[in-house]
Amino acid sequence: MHKQLAISLDTPFKQEVFEGLTSYPKFLSSKYIYDKAGDKLFQDIMNMPEYYLTNTEYAIIEQHKIQLAHMFSRGNQPFHLIEMGAGDGKKTKILLRHFTEQNLDFTFRPIDISQNALDQLQINLKREIPRLRTEPLQGNYFETLRKLNFNTEERKVILFLGSNIGNLCHEEAIDFLSQIQEYMQPEDLLFIGFDQKKNPETILNAYNDETGITAKFNKNLLVRINKELDANFNIDCFKHWEVYDPETGTAKSYLVAKSPQKVFIQALDLHISFKAWETIHTEISQKYDDRTVQWLAEQSNLTVIDEYSDPKQFYKNYLFKKSY
């Protein structure tokens, strides 16, 4: 038996780090960027002028909040507003405030892998919207959707904002959407943000800012491995690199070793070698057009029933229901 296979991979983090860094080419999951430091760095990214996604989606939701209230509530019928990857809830608070002011009968159920993000969101919501009914759930999307797979006459409205769907390749996105629709009843809705194809320079600038915030965010993966798995990555020896293919609409993030290196991860009893310019693939950020979104919906047993965009067509939010 290979020595490393005898090591206890008793957490998903250990399992995925072991798998990713012993593969060729190497890879790590971007979901593990998000600890307390990663959450703060992502807030900083969302405030960068180059990162158009947050403000654009914010404006779309602000512009269409009255229409969305009507679509979600069906004439003030009770519903559950379920947000996957809630984060700090900046955009969702537009809807939460408006729905509360309109006395809509709903419960907000934020889901996030980061307990720190959920704790902060809960504190802020209690202060900012005290009448709001909130029931947070920590975990990955599939685990929490299974927990929320309750049969009820009350509608479920599932939110997936921030173009988080773009972190999945198309086949993964189809699998993800297919699993969501399995938990949807005929009257349930799914509201998703999709970043659109546009000038490649605009996209690259959003993921490779001159101030280096995105680079620090990406490198937080290695910081976490050092801290939580007792590794000795030299963070400064890795370069953040972003590429974008305008044909496929795929932006990819990498950490690139600037020199030959040897790393030891004590919690895994694992030695890793890097050649100069060897890569760790950390993230994809998929961009879309209407044709691709329609295809994803068809493959996932979903139907597009409405869409909302900004004047530049930089970004779109699509509303889906289950196909029958």
Residue 120 sits in a domain whose CATH number is 3.40.50.150
Per-residue pLDDT for 151 more than 80? no
Do residues 242 and 274 both lie within one domain?
Answer: yes
Whether 211 maps to a domain, the answer reads: yes
CA distance 271 to 30: 22
Structural domain span for residue 142: 52-196+288-322
Per-residue pLDDT for 266 more than 90? yes
What is the secondary structure of 80-134 as a DSSP string?
EEEEET-TT-TTHHHHHHHHHHTT--EEEEEEES-HHHHHHHHHHHHHH-TT--B
DSSP three-state, residue 179: helix
Angle at 115 between CA 69 and CA 107, to 5 degrees: 25
| The residue to which tokens 């900012």 are assigned | 128
Hey, CA dihedral for 233, 236, 237, 243, is it positive or negative? positive
CA distance 201 to 199: 5
Do residues 57 and 176 both lie within one domain?
Answer: yes
Whether 43 maps to a domain, the answer reads: no
Backbone angles phi, psi at 130, to 5 degrees: -60, -25
List Cβ neighbours of 273 (8 Å cut-off, separation of 6 or more). Answer: 260, 261, 262, 263
Whether 176 maps to a domain, the answer reads: yes
Do residues 162 and 237 both lie within one domain?
Answer: no
pLDDT tens digits, one per residue of 202-224: 999 999 998 999 999 999 999 99
Do residues 295 and 271 both lie within one domain?
Answer: no
Whether 37 maps to a domain, the answer reads: no
Do residues 281 and 227 both lie within one domain?
Answer: yes
Q: What is the pLDDT of residue 152?
A: 63
Per-residue pLDDT for 58 more than 90? yes
Do residues 264 and 137 both lie within one domain?
Answer: no
Whether 47 maps to a domain, the answer reads: no
List Cβ neighbours of 147 (8 Å cut-off, separation of 6 or more). Answer: 137, 139
Mean pLDDT of 124-151: 83
Do residues 153 and 77 both lie within one domain?
Answer: yes
Per-residue pLDDT for 95 more than 70? yes
pLDDT tens digits, one per residue of 1-46: 344 455 678 899 999 999 999 999 999 999 899 888 998 999 899 8
Whether 298 maps to a domain, the answer reads: yes
> How many C-beta atoms surround the C-beta of residue 49 within 10 A?
9
Do residues 126 and 269 both lie within one domain?
Answer: no
pLDDT tens digits, one per residue of 272-291: 999 999 999 999 999 999 99
Per-residue pLDDT for 154 more than 90? no
Per-residue pLDDT for 96 more than 50? yes
Question: How many Cα neighbours within 13 Å face the side chain of 140?
Answer: 8
Do residues 213 and 191 both lie within one domain?
Answer: no
Please name the amino acid found at residue 246: P
Assigned token pair, 141: 């999307």
What is the 3-state composition of the chain as percent helix, strand, coil, each rounded to the nearest 5? 45, 25, 30
Whether 42 maps to a domain, the answer reads: no
Contacts of range 97-105, beta carbons closer than 8 Å, 24 or more positions apart:
97/128, 97/129, 98/65, 98/66, 98/69, 99/69, 99/72, 99/73, 100/129, 100/131, 100/132, 102/69, 103/76, 104/69, 104/72, 104/73, 104/76, 104/79, 105/73, 105/76, 105/77, 105/78, 105/79
CA distance 305 to 187: 12
| The residue to which tokens 């002028």 are assigned | 49
Do residues 96 and 221 both lie within one domain?
Answer: no
CA distance 271 to 264: 5
Do residues 116 and 134 both lie within one domain?
Answer: yes
Q: Find the range with the poorest average confidence among 98-102, 108-112, 231-235.
A: 108-112
Looking at every residue in the chain, the average pLDDT score rounds to 93
CA distance 47 to 64: 22
Q: What is the pLDDT of residue 3?
A: 46
CA distance 3 to 286: 38
Q: Which of the four pLDDT bands, split at 50, 70 and 90, describes residue 114?
A: confident
Angle at 321 between CA 317 and CA 324, to 5 degrees: 150
Whether 38 maps to a domain, the answer reads: no
Per-residue pLDDT for 150 more than 70? no
* Tally of domains in the chain: 2
Q: What is the pLDDT of residue 6?
A: 54
Q: 214, 215, 226: which is closest to 272 by C-alpha?
A: 226
Do residues 239 and 259 both lie within one domain?
Answer: yes
